[in-house]
Amino acid sequence: MFAALDIGNSYIKIQLFSADKLINYYKFSHDEIGKISELFPISTAALSSVVPHITHKVIEIFKKINVLPFVISSGIKLNFKNLYKTPNTLGADRICNIAGAQTIGSTVKPKLVIDFGTATNLNYINENNEFLGGVICPGIATMKFSLLAKTSQLIDVEFDNSIVPLGKSTSECIQSGIIYSQKGLIQEFIKSLGINLNDLEIFITGGFSNIMKDYLEFNFIHENKLSLIGIKKLYELNN
């Protein structure tokens, strides 16, 4: 059995495969890392991580069953051409999301991959399968907690699919400010590309994509396992 692991800033996502068949999906907090050993037997594994000390702990767990996970990095063989000015700084999370979109998406259309996580990042791949760059900005929760940490009188808020631009209370104003700043960023970025929306294939993923999907005014493919699909593809390309 093959395990694809995506170690993010808040959670560890795991997809188990038997050959090409998806078996089970798991999502653990960092504090629940020991639960990984309950998923054995696993014969091969690959991981993407943005949290180095958690990576080390996961590798040690796998070493106990004589499995050395393949670690995704910018130095491996990719299913797209990395034209970033600083290619070695392209994060594993972004690499895997792009690889996932390349795996399940069009082979002829340019793509935009939007990940709504701790950070919100936008990644643009042109019609020649070349990654040209994108945007990284604070995510929904990061924006909220930054406001709460820096102000003494603002209150905590939750997010749903009924937030309107004109907030009529302090909580509604915070909700609106965060949601519509995310939406506005995306709209302006797409406009800057100068591409007809019908010619652009857009993917959304990440923990907050379930909220943001209700505010986006364009067609998109919603795939919360995009990074895991990318991890499996990259493992196959390199092994």
Residues 29-49: pLDDT tens digits? 999 999 998 888 899 999 999
In a domain, residue 19? The reply is yes
Instruction: Please confirm whether the linkage preceding 110 is cis (ω < 30° from 0).
Output: no
Last residue of a domain, one of 53, 71, 89: 71
Q: Using H for helix, E for strand and C for coil, what is the string for the chain?
A: CEEEEEECCCEEEEEEEECCEEEEEEEEEHHHHHHHHHHCCCCEEEEEECCHHHHHHHHHHHHCCCCCCEECCCCCCCCCEECCCCHHHCCHHHHHHHHHHHHHCCCCCCEEEEEECCEEEEEEECCCCEEEEEEEEECHHHHHHHHHHHCCCCCCCCCCCCCCCCCCCHHHHHHHHHHHHHHHHHHHHHHHHCCCHHHCEEEEECCCHHHHCCCCCCCCEECCCHHHHHHHHHHHHHC
- What pTM does this model have? 0.94
Model confidence over 197-221: pLDDT tens digits? 999 999 999 999 999 999 999 999 9
Judge whether 61 lies within some domain. yes
pLDDT digits (tens, 9 = 90+) for 145-201: 999 898 888 888 999 999 999 999 999 999 999 999 999 999 999 999 999 999 999
> Based on the domain organization, do 175 and 111 belong to the same domain?
yes
> Which domain, by its residues, includes 113?
81-230
Could you read off the pLDDT of 58-111 as tens digits, one per residue?
999 999 989 999 999 999 999 999 999 999 999 999 999 999 999 999 989 999
User: Is residue 65 domain-shared with residue 88, that is, in the same domain?
Assistant: no
pLDDT of res. 54: 96
Question: Do the domain assignments include residue 238?
Answer: no
User: Do residues 102 and 207 both lie within one domain?
Assistant: yes
In a domain, residue 146? The reply is: yes
Same domain, yes or no, for 31 and 116? no
Model pLDDT, residue 154: 82
Q: Is 64 helix (H, G, I), strand (E, B) or coil?
A: coil
What pLDDT shows up at residue 150?
Answer: 87
